[in-house]
Structure formats: C-alpha cells, structure tokens
Structure 1
Amino acid sequence: MATFATPDQLLVIIDPVARRTDGESVRIAKDVLSAGAAAKVCLPEGPEEFARVLARRGSRRPVVVGDDRALTRAVALLHQQRELAECVLSMVPVGSALGVAHALGVPTGAVAAARAVLDGSERRLDVLVDDSDGVVLGALRIPPVPLTPQEAAVAGGVRPWLRTCQSLVRTLVPSRPSRTTRTSRVAPAPPPPGPARLRVEVDGVTLVDLDQPVEAVSVTPDTAGAAVVEVRPLSLGAEASPLQARGRTVTVSGADFRYRADAVVAGPVRRRTWVVREGALGLVLPER
C-alpha cells in the first residue's frame, strides 16, 4: 500500500461546477495542496477539456476537486483509456452531490480532504463494470433513486454555450407587454416508478424471475471481490426481509428499465450485465 507523506507531483483538476457552487472551499483546497506539494492547477471549462487535461497528466497524480460526477467522470475516462489500474486518484469533495465520495471514505471538508491527499495512503477498491463499459463505484439501483434538484440541474447539461444561446434568443425576440404579473410555474414532480418485472441472475443463478414483480433492486460492490445484490419483490411488503445474494456477475433483464449508477441515471435498457473488478480503483484515503 503506497503512502504519500512526502512531497508529490500533483495535477489538481478543479471541476467548473465546484468553482460555481463553492468557490471558498475550492480556494482552501488549492492553498492546502499547493503548500504541501508541487501542484499544477487546471481549470477545465467542460467535459472535453476535463478529459484532455486528465489524458495529459504525465507522471503527476491527479486530484479531482468536485462532486460525485467529477469523480465518476475521471474514473470512467481512465477506464476507457485502460489506465485505471495504473493510476492512483485523489479527491477533494466540493459540491452538493457527495454521497458516493463519502461512502468510499473521502473525508468531508476541504481541509481534511486536502490533507488526506498529501498524507494518506492508496487503497484498492472494487468497482462494477457493465457490458457497455460503464463503471459503478458505489450503489446501483433499479428503479433509479430520484435526482436532487442540484443533480437534475447538472444532468440537464446546462453549459455556458447553451446559456449564451438562450440569452441571444431573449435579445432577438421582443418581450410581450403584459398587464398582469405572471406567476412562475413549477413543473410537477414525476410520479414514483411502479413495480417492474425483471429477471435478476447472480453468477448464472436466478434470484427472481419475470413472474414476480419487484419494487427495487440494488447492487453494491463489496470489499471481497463480490457484489451484494438485494431484491425486494412486491409481495414481501415493507416489513419483510428482501432477497439477498453475493456474486461476481449480475445480470438484469426484462421490460425496459432505467437504473441509477452513482450520480448518473441511465437507460432504458432491456438487459445489462455488471461484473465486479476487484481492486480496480486506487484511491488515496486517510490512514486507518
């Protein structure tokens, strides 16, 4: 297990969402990291530039300053480049969507997380990789857990160029005079998804089949090279224990379904297989 108590060459990648949402925490993290190591600070403006910066990191250890989406983006890029196993990541969590980072053991607070980057040690963590080359660090859930308002705003892909276009349209189209004050309309929240008919197989063994509607399915990578699978059939009710199994390969199939992998909602798909990759992610965390 590698430790990083000595000065290191860091590539500090500050996600644009973090800069907009909490500039003070970003400044603190940058100051702590720059004081403790030779740090090159990069401020990418979007996903494409984020990818270019990460690909050109050279021998520097990447440090992601941002939320769960920034972390999962970095992991996905390294996986696609087949460099995840050789690269050790660090993270300073900044933003509102930080459940995945905290579940992995990344400290809360900019100062504590930045110090862990400098003085922590590498820990190898299991991940899930699906048959479309997607990577899951934390929990996978079917149906997807609803997005928070902050996550929905990010998922909507509102980028600077889109805001520029909207501003231009407002400039070119004259506003209509109104004698009454318009009230803002809030879109109603989507109804919760109903039961689904899915076949869930763990290492080739069927845990639940299409004839049994299910309320929820969750898959979480364990620390022993396996995934924990939990299925709640509709007939069990809220008080009963769900069906559970552990295995390296999980396949879900059936009617079109969506799923939430970390901070991203994906689908609809009719079949998806996830395989546990033991120790695939190297993440610097505080000493135990």
Structure 2
Amino acid sequence: MKKTFYIKTALLSLIGIALLSSCLKDPRYVDFAGSKPLIELPGAAGVAAGGGYFETVGLLANASAPTAFNVPVNLAAPNPLSTPVTVKLSVNAAALTAYNTANGTNYTLMPAADYSSSLTVTIPAGQNLVNLVVNVNTSQITPANSYVLPLTITDGGGQQISNYNTILFAIVVKNAYDDNYTETGYKFHTTAGASHALTGTIAVTTVTAVTSNTAVGDLGGSGYTFNFDTNGSTVSNWVPEGSTPAAPASGFMTADNPGGFTYVTTDGSQPGTAPYTSSTYNNTYNATTKTFMLHYGYGVGSSGQNGYTRQFYSKLVAQ
C-alpha cells in the first residue's frame, strides 16, 4: 500500500513540474525578473494625444515668491539599482506644437522667465522614485493664460528611456479673487415658502485676470452660475452661464424690487428694507476685506430688472 502511495505522489510531482515548466514557456506569461531598467515619467502613462500626455497643474496662487510643483521621475525595474542614476530632462517645444496640431488647441510655450528648474535629478542607489522640482514665478503670469511647459526625458543616465517620457504641463494661475467665500444675504422668490436667507460657502473661480465665475445664490448645484468682472471696487459685465437665463432675463440690479413683486417671508425681510437695499448691496468689491456686495436677479422671459421675480442680495467674504 505504501509503495503505491509513493508512486502516486511521485507521479503527481512530475506532472506538477511539467505543468510549471509549460507555464514558464507560455508566451502569455511575462517574466519581469529579467526586464531591463527603464527611466520614465509615471504621470505620462495616460492616453497621449499628439505630442505627449497633457496634464493641468492645479491652479497656483498668485504669489511674490515662486511656487513649486513636482515632476515624478521613476526608475522602473524589478529591484532598485546599487548605483545612483542622473536623469536629464529638456523643454520640448516640438511636442507642444504637435499637441496643438493634433487637438486644434493654441497653447503657448511657457516663457523661460516664468519658471526655474535644473531639469536634472538624481535617483539615489536603492531608490526608484524622486521628484524634479519646477519653481513657477506666478507673479509674472497673467491669470488664465494658456501656458504649457512640455518636458521630455533626454538622458536616462545610462539606462533605457521609456516610451512614457513626455508630459505637457498646463500652468494656470489664479486671479486675485479666486477663493472660497462665506455667503450671507437673502434670496427673494415669488413662490410661497421659497424666500429665505442665504448661508454657506460659495466658490469664486478664475476665468481671466479680471473675470471670475460664481454661483447664483444657492442655485450653484442646479447649474446656475454667472461670470463677472472686477475692476478696482467695481463689479460689472454680468454674463450668465449654465442654467442661468440669458441676458437681459438675468443680470445685476440697481433698484430694489423695481417690478413691485410680492414676497412672503417668515422673518419679515423685504427687498428695499434694511439691510437688503441696493445702496448696501451695490455690486462692489472691497480689496482690504476681500468682500463682494452683490445684487442681482432673474426672471424667465423678462427684458430687464423690472421683470426679475428672483432677487438676490449676496455678501461674499473670503475665508
């Protein structure tokens, strides 16, 4: 009986070895242990269109001191090397041209004066991933300019360079008003029960150096937004966006309830009664306190503020 058991065990072992050998020879299975090291930009592993992978650097604050962002550089290998590797990158203007051509865009090469970087990084022995630092002189960049910094690995320090070697970094700088704001004020609505105080946090985001976008009161979640310009202390140039009715059915207001609509409120608030007056909410900006005082409204099908059944008195204070 024992002899039979041993024979069966030996046969099963031989079969297992044969199957394992077959799997190792199967071209569907890749043995990475013998792979050559590759130098890559891991962020470039997405789908490239044109000259390389396109990546937008998060909005950078406009500051007097340079703002840094990191470019990860990776040594792709089964094991870290025992010696350091120095990797060099360069600005690849041709990659940006190819991207613009392939995608119908018109991005501009970032001026050399607007950033600084050694464009060289050393991966220490025993490590795989390091960051190349790029310092952006945000104070020299006009907010929302379409600048791109295209970087390509040009020297792998003796190691093979991966196909993932080019990233086009879109650099966008915030304007002076881009921030989260605490909103207070009032929304007057002709539908019973729909009028109420405005509270909460609302974002003002960059469009250009002077143009910003924000939500219509508490309706941002429903797609009601608008663009506006800030020049000194003056807020103007209402441009409806998203679900907001097209002008002149929406816009800034200069009078309190000029259409004489009836508003039923639970706290007695009424447009034109302090504190909700056009003289207080006068479409201005105070740079010292970073405060917007806005008065606007809309009415579907209306031809001006006399038809604005929804009227907003909004105070925005930067957080």
| RCO higher in structure (CA 8 A, sep ≥6) | 1
Superposition TM-score, scaled by structure 2 size: 0.22
Superposition TM-score, scaled by structure 1 size: 0.24
Which protein has the larger Cα radius of gyration, Structure 1 or Structure 2? 2
Higher helix share: 1
Higher strand share: 2
